[in-house]
Amino acid sequence: MQLTDIKSPALKSWIQQWSDLCTPDQVVICDGSKAEYDACCNLLVKAGTFIKLDKKPNSYACRTDVSDVARVEERTFICSETKDAAGPTNNWCAPAEMRVTLNGLFKGCMAGRTMFVIPFSMGPVESPIAKFGFEITDSPYVVANMHIMTRVNDSIIAKVDAGAEFVKCVHSVGYPLAANQPDVPWPCAPIDKKHITHFPETREIISFGSGYGGNALLGKKCFALRIASVQARDEGWLAEHMLILKLTSPQGEVKFVAAAFPSACGKTNLAMMEPNLPGWKVETIGDDIAWMKFGPDGRLHAINPENGFFGVAPGTSMKSNPNAMRTVNQGNSIFSNCALTLDGDVYWEGMDQTPENCVDWQRRPWKKGSTAKAAHPNARFTAPAAQCPVIAKEWEDPAGVPISAFLFGGRRANVVPLVNEAQDWEHGVFLGATMASEMTAAAIGGAGQLRFDPFAMLPFCGYHMGDYFAHWLTVGANAPDPSKLPKIFYVNWFRKNEAGKFVWPGFGDNARVLKWIFERCSGKGQAVATAIGNLPAPDALGLADLGITAADQQLLLTVDKDGWLAVLPQIKAHLEQFGSRLPKALAKQLAALEARLKA
C-alpha cells in the first residue's frame, strides 16, 4: 500500500507532515504479514543488530547500546495543557514548549533511513474494547517487535478511512545517516536528547532517541496505559497495569481474576503459574495490561490489549515460570540484552542451567562463577502470547472476560498478612491507592521505608493520580449492578519471620490463596473480620499441609496492629501529596482504619 491509497485526510496528512519533517529516504506502510516480519529480521541480521539463534527456531538475539537498556522515567513527560492535570507523580512540560523541542530534534532525523508506518490494534480488531493506533518509526527492530506485541494489520487503515479514531504514535532512534555514512548495530541518541512524551488531550505519543522497550514500542506502556488511562477516564472504563487469569475449580466452575503488582513482585509468574492444588487449573489471558468495560450483563469485562509477552528474562526459569520458558522455547521470539551461549542459544541469570562459558550482553567473554552479570538485569524476551501452553481459549474473545476479583499487592517483609479481602469497593480502592513495597537498606530512605506504587500505576498513569483514584470510585458508583462488581483483595507473598526467612513458599502454592479468593467470590470461603479487612479463617488455606509452623501461620493470618499504626504516618504522607484532588472518601477510609486499629 502507498500513502496515496489512504483515504482518510487526517491520517494521510499526519503521515505526510512527519515525512516532510523527518526527511526519510522512503516511506513504507506496513501490512503485518509474515513476509514483512521476516524481511525486517533479515535486514537486522545484515546490519549486525540481530543474531539468529541456532537453538530456538525463527528467533533472534540483539544487544543494545549500553546507554539504552530500560525505560527512562526522568526523560518521560506528560504534556497536558496544565501542570496540575499531570499531577505530582508525573514529569510535566507545557505542550507548546515540548513541541518546539521535538520539532528541532525530529528535523531531518530519519535521513538515510526508511520511515515505517505501522497500523496496529490494541486488542482483537473487532472488540468493542479495542483501540487503534499508528506508529511512525525509523527502526526495523520496532517493526519486528510490534508484530509480536500488537496486532499489526492493514485492515485498520480501512477502518480509519471509514472514520475510526486512532492514537498517533511517532518514534525515531534519533540517529540520521549522512550520504555513505555506515550505520551502527544499535543506533540511538545521547541520554539528554531522549524524550518520551505524551499529549493526553490530542491522544499523541512522540518518542525520540531510544530504540528500546516501552520507549520505542509505543503500543505498550505509552498507549496501553498512559494515553489509554486518559481515554478510560473520559469514556468511563478502566485501563490498568494488570494481569488477567482464568481459574477453573475441580468441579469445572470458572472465574477470571485481574491483578496489579509493582515490578519484582511475581506478576508474570502468577500470570502463568502451575497450581500445586490437585484439580485446579490456572490459564492466562494476559500478563501485563487489562482494559475493562461494563458488558451487557452488568459485569466488568476485560481484554488483554497486547498480542505478546515482553517479559523480564533474568529470574525466569522452569522453577519460577515454566510456562514462560515453554513459550520462548517454541521460538518465534526476540531476546534483547541476554547473554549468548557458544552453541547458539541465550542465557540469563536464574536459568536452570548455567553454561561454563558464554558471551555477555556487552559482547565480552563470560565464565561460570563470574561476579559480573552475563545478562543485563532488564534483559527481555518478546514472544507471541498464542504460543503460551496455558493461554486460555477466551484470550481473544472480543467481548472480553467477566472479572470476579481484583488482586493488589506489594513486597512487604513485615506487617501485611498473606491475603486480605476489602470490606467493599471503596475500601478496595483505598487498598489499591496505598499499595507499597519496602525499600531495602541500600535504598534511599533505608529499611522499613515504603515505596508507594498505587495500583502499580505510578510510572504509567497519564493524568493526576488523585483524579485517577476518583475515577475508580466513580466506576464503582456508576456500576449497572453494584452486586456484580469484582471483589477486591490485597496479597503479600513476601512475609518474613524473625530469622529473615520467607514464610510463604509462593510459586504453585499461591493457588491456595487463589482458591480462597475464588470461594469468597462464590459466597463461600471462611473469613474473619479484622481491623484491616477480612482474613482467611485459621484452617481456610490448609497451611499445616505445607509444614508451616504455628508461629509462621500467625504471621501470615493475623493483624499486627502495632505495625500498622507505625506505618500510618507514611500512608498519610503518601496520600497528602495529592492535596485537594485526593477524594474525600479515601481520607475517610484512612481515618476509619486508624480508628479500628486503636479500638
**pLDDT (tens digit per residue) in 289-302:** 999 999 999 999 99
Write out the three cell numbers for 415: 506487617
Q: Taking the model in full, what pTM does it have?
A: 0.96
Residues 24 and 166 placed together within one structural domain of the fold: yes
Alpha-carbon distance 392 to 246, whole Å?
Answer: 7
With respect to residue 63, please indicate whether it lies within any of the assigned structural domains. Answer: no
**Structure confidence at residue 268 (pLDDT):** 85
CATH value at residue 249: 3.90.228.20
- Split into its structural domains, the chain has a count of 3
Q: What are phi and psi of 356, to 5 degrees?
A: -65, -40
How many residues appear in the chain?
599
Strand partners for 239: 291
| 117 part of a folded domain | yes
- Are 551 and 433 in a shared domain? yes
Whether residue 480 is found in the same domain as residue 334: no
Q: How far is residue 129's CA from residue 287's CA, in Å, rounded to a whole number? A: 18
The residue from 236, 257, 287 where one domain ends is: 236
Mean pLDDT, rounded, for 315-321:
93
Q: Is residue 445 part of a domain?
A: yes
Q: Say whether both 546 and 415 belong to one domain.
A: yes
108-121: pLDDT as tens digits: 999 999 999 999 99
Q: Residue 275 phi/psi, 5° resolution?
A: -70, 145
Considering the domain architecture, whether residues 433 and 467 belong to the same structural domain is answered as: yes
Helix, strand, coil percentages, rounded to 5, for the chain: 35, 25, 45
401, 366: one domain: no
User: Is residue 119 within 8 Å of residue 152, measured between CB atoms?
Assistant: yes
Are 189 and 210 in contact by the 8 Å Cβ rule? The answer is yes
Which of 236, 254, 282 is a domain's end point?
236
265 is catalytic: yes
Average pLDDT, the chain: 96
Domain that holds residue 364: 308-387
Give domain status of residue 65, yes or no. Answer: no
pLDDT tens string 376-410: 999 999 999 999 999 999 999 999 999 999 999 99
Q: Across-strand partners of 257?
A: 245, 405
- Answer yes or no: do 508 and 569 share one domain: yes
Residues 227 and 256 in one domain: no
CATH number of 219's domain: 3.40.449.10
- Taking the CB of residue 500, how many other CB atoms lie within 10 A of it? 7
Residues 422 and 278 in one domain: yes
pLDDT in tens, 414-445: 999 999 999 999 999 999 999 999 975 444 44
Q: Is 66 contained in some domain?
A: no
Tally of helices (H runs) and strands (E runs) in the chain: 16, 30
Residue 215 shares a structural domain with residue 287: no
Which residue in 22, 40, 222, 265 is the catalytic one?
Answer: 265
Q: What is the CATH number of the domain that holds 345?
A: 2.170.8.10
With 0-12 CB in 10 A as exposed, 13-18 as middle and 19+ as buried, what is 97?
exposed
Cell digits of residue 387: 504460543
Retrieve residue 72's grid coordinates. Answer: 527512562
Structural domain includes residue 67: no
pLDDT class for 35, splitting at 50, 70, 90?
very high
What pLDDT does 546 receive?
93
DSSP state of 486: P
Shared domain check, 363 and 401: no
pLDDT at 448 over 90: no
DSSP string, 376-427: -TT-EEEEEGGG-TTB-GGGG-TT-EEEEEEEEE---SSS--SEEE-SSHHH
Q: Are 435 and 409 a contacting pair, CB within 8 Å?
A: yes
pLDDT reported for residue 443: 40
In a domain, 216, yes or no: yes
Can you give the pLDDT at residue 447?
Answer: 52
> How many CB atoms are located within 10 Å of the residue 529 CB?
10
Q: Determine, yes or no, domain membership for 353.
A: yes
42 contacts 36 by C-beta, under 8 angstroms: no
Last residue of a domain, one of 367, 387, 407: 387
DSSP class per residue in 238-307: EEES-EEEEEE-TT--EEEEEEE--TTSSHHHHHT---SSTT-EEEEEESS-EEEEE-TTSSEEEE---S
Domain co-membership, 461 together with 429:
yes
